[in-house]
Structure formats: structure tokens, C-alpha cells
Structure 1
Amino acid sequence: MSQPLVSPSRQDWRAHAIGHLGWARGAVGAGAGIALAGIATWLVLGLMPGGGSDALPFLVAPLGASAVLVFCVPASPLSQPWSVIGGDLLSAAVGLIAGHMLGDPWIAGSVAVAVAIAVMSVGRCLHPPGGACALLCALGASGRVPWDWTWMAPITANVLLLCAFGWLYNNLTGHPWPHRPPRVVHIPPPAPDYSREDIVAVLEDWNEVLDVDIDDLDAFVQALLRRGRAA
């Protein structure tokens, strides 16, 4: 019996939804990660001495942006575990310090974001939601009822739980996390070959930061060369 035909448009939709990093995969993972982080954080805070859960949130807004990166672009250098953990937590600490030291929300927020970017860059954990963590904590620490260091409890719990679920979900759905670039076997082409240093040199000439690892670029070019030779 002949197999039922599937229209190209339906095939394209299915691939876009559930195929290679489809939106459905990212949406389900991010939603589940946020839900689990919220529930677990609520339980953790409920066990704190003095009933601290009444004054602390069980979810913080920047976690939503971290979830987009972790589940939708898990190969990005900005989405790796150290980037998420270091970027969010270091930036949150910077925000609390700036808020307490400077007092004024406008000045504290501006300084906190600037310093957080510098700290993340030096610490090799650049993570865009870290800027939101810095701003949130700076505004909270310089508000009418200044946030103290207990606010690091829900933020830390959120980030660690999101990363734990991200590790499980990404690996189970075929996207190893932390990301490991494909192993590259260089095959000398008939034309002059290139080296990894050539890629670095081109990126330096462009003077731009691309959201892709150099080893992934190398693997991509090699795959193109192999495909061209096989054609």
C-alpha cells in the first residue's frame, strides 16, 4: 500500500515546530524549567528559618530571559552553564552592592549594569539576563525598603534549578549541554587550506562579536568543504 503523502508545507511546519531546535521544543523546555524552578524555590524558601518565604519572591523576572537562551539556543556561548550561573549571580551581587552604596535608584541602576557587564566579561560569563539581574537588584536595594542579601536566596535557587533542568532536558532531546563543538577532521582541499587562526584573524578584522563559538565556525566551514567535494 502506498504511504499517505504529506504536503511540503506540513513537513516544513513539523520541522519548524519539533525538528532541529524547533520552537515547540524550546517553548516546552522553557515553560517546564520556569515552573519547576518556581515550585522548588517556593519549597526551599518555605523551609527557611523565620518564614522568610513571605518576604521573598519564588521567581525573579530575569529568569525568563535565561530560559530563552538555555532552551532555545543551547549551543550559544552566552547560554552555557557558567555563563548562566556566573552571569546572573555575580550581576545580582553587583546590583545589591551598588544599590546600598549609591542609594539613588537611577545612579545605582546605571552603575550596576555597567559594572556587571565588566565583571561578566572579565569572568568569561557574559549572559544578557545578567544585566537585568543587576538592574533589578540595584533598584530593589535602593528602594524604600532596601533589599538585603537574603534576596540572593531565591535568585540563586532559581538559577541553579533552571540550569539543572536545562542540563537534563537539553541532553535528553539531543542537544548536549554544556555544548561540545563537533570534532573537526581537516581534509586538505585542492585549494589552499585555512587554519583556526585564520578564523580568529577574520573575526578580529571584522571587530564584531558573533554569538557562535570559533570551533563551531570551524566545523561548519569544514562541512561545507566536504559537501562541495562530494557534489
Structure 2
Amino acid sequence: MTMPHHHGATPATMPWTGRLGALRGAIGAGLAIALTGLVTHLAVGADPAVPWLVASMGASAVLAFVLPASPLAQPWPVIGSHVMAAAIGLTCHMLPLAPWLGAGLAVFAAIAAMSLLRCLHPPAGGTAVLLALATPAVAAQGWHFLIMPLGLNVVLLTLLALVYNRLTGHAYPHRPPKAVMLPALAGSYTLDDLDTVLEGWDEVLSIDRDELDALFRAVESRVAARS
């Protein structure tokens, strides 16, 4: 009887269990959000008007625990994006703008800043909106919000992602496997070939160029071994 083959490397074909399964990531994300919320709540205090868990942490947990190899899920994007987006959102909140305009400006500026600083992380767009539309309690905290609760939230979440992913067999921060350079093969490509294809692909792929290279070299190795 042929066992089903799971292509666990893509979200669309991710199995439910196992090292690459969705259950592993779901458990880790749930535990991390609970612990992050608990620690931050204890640090912030019992004032119900002061938020202790930023909602966009839930979206960050999906990336950091379910897709830890994604360039969007690495520590610098997680931490840098949220802090920067919060600062931008709070700045937009302070400007004399209509709320809808301030929110749009905050998202625009956050994406531009994340792209320039190579820390693109989609959940931070939510942080920018949250601060641009800050409640009176959040606005009263001002820049302190970037440290508490936001700063503590992102640092705790990232540390928990590092520990949990490594305990469950995933390198985090992720490093692409070293590409195996084979002797000249018929049809083998060079890095210039890969760069040229990427330039003409007309899409931004959620995978590092070095990761692509390592993947393609591994396929070439398998083909060569079969020949």
C-alpha cells in the first residue's frame, strides 16, 4: 500500500501533524500569545484602560510559529516592523488629520519604512492603524506605548518563537541550507541565470534568493544521482 505523500513545504499542502504540520505551529502560537499576554499584563498592571496585548501580535504569531522559514517571520522583521509602525501610527495620530486619512497615511509610511529597512512584516500594518486610530488611553501613553506594552510584546513573542521552533526542530532565526555546487551538468544554471529570471518574474516572492538557489541545487543533485 502506497503511503500518502505530504508536500509539507507550502501552506496550501501543509499536513496537520508532524514537524511541518499546522498543529505544531498552532500550539506554539497559542502558548506564546498566552504567555506574552500574561507577562505583559503583570508588568502593565491591572488598569483596564491600558492595553496589555497588541492585537497584531496574533498575526505575527502565525508567521513566526507556522512559517518560521519565511523571510517575513524573522526576528528583525517582527521586532523592527512593529516598533517602527507604532511610532509612525502615533505620529499620524498626533497630526490634525481625519481618522481615515491618518490611518491610510500610517500604513503607507509604515510599508515604505519597512521596505527601506528590510523588515517587511505584514502584521505591522495593523499596528500602524491601531496607533493612528489610538484610543484615549493609548494616546495618553504616548511614546511609552512603544516600550510597554508593544516592545515587551514583540520581544517576548520573538524569544518564545526562537525557543519553541528550535525545540520542535526548526532553526530560528532561519538560515537557508548551503547550496551544493555540482560539477558542470547539462542544463545546470548559474546565479546570474537565477537573478535574471527573478528580475523578469514580475512578482515579489516570499522566499529568499539563497533559499531558492539551495532548493534548485538540491533538485539538481537528486536528478544527477538518479541519472
Aligned-partner SS, 1:18: coil
Instruction: Say if 2:181 and 2:217, in contact at 8 Å, map to a contact too.
Output: yes
| Residue aligning to 1:72 | 66
When the two chains are superposed, the root-mean-square deviation of aligned CA atoms in Å is: 2.1
DSSP-derived class of the 1:64 partner: helix
User: Which residue of structure 2 lines up, in the alignment, with residue 212 of structure 1?
Assistant: 207
- Tell me which residue corresponds to 2:113: 119
Partner secondary structure for residue 15 of structure 2: helix
Shift in Å, 1:145? 7.8
SS where residue 96 of structure 1 aligns? helix
Q: Deviations over 1:148-177 (max 9, x none)?
A: 223221111111110010010011111111
Counterpart of 2:11 in structure 1 is none
CA distance in 2, matches of 1:189, 1:215: 20
Identity of aligned residues (%): 47
Cα drift, residue 207 of structure 1: 2.2
In the other structure, the counterpart of 1:202 is 197
For 1:31 and 1:173, locate their aligned partners in 2 and report how far apart those are by CA, in whole Å. Answer: 15
Moved more, 68-77 or 19-28: 19-28
Runs (4+) of structure 1 exceeding 3 A deviation are 143-147
> C-alpha displacement at 1:103, in angstroms?
3.7
1:45-194 map, 5 Å: 45-46=44-45, 53-140=47-134, 146-147=139-140, 148-152=142-146, 153-194=148-189
Counterparts of 1:69 and 1:164 in 2: how far apart (Å)?
A: 14
Distance 1:145 1:67 in 2: 22
Change (3 A) 1:145 1:38: closer
Q: Tell me if structure 1 keeps the 8 A contact 2:72–2:206.
A: yes
Partner of 2:36: 37
Q: Could you tell me whether the CA contact under 8 Å between 1:56 and 1:151 is conserved in 2? A: no
Q: Which segment is superposed worse, 170-179 or 143-152?
A: 143-152
Q: Work out the CA distance in 1 between the residues paired with 2:24 and 2:79.
A: 22
The letter of the residue matching 1:171 is: R
Q: 1:65-104 deviations in whole A, cap 9, x for unaligned?
A: 0000000111111010000001111001100001111342
Residue 41 of structure 1 contacts residue 58 of structure 1 at CA under 8 Å; is this kept in 2? Answer: yes
2:50–2:138 contact (8 Å) kept in structure 1: no
Shift of residue 58 of structure 1? 1.3
Corresponding letter in the other structure for 1:38:
G
Give the structure-2-normalised TM-score: 0.88
Closer, same or farther: CA 144–25 of 1 in aligned 2, 3 Å: closer
3-state SS, counterpart of residue 55 of structure 1:
coil
Q: 1:223 — aligned with what?
A: 218
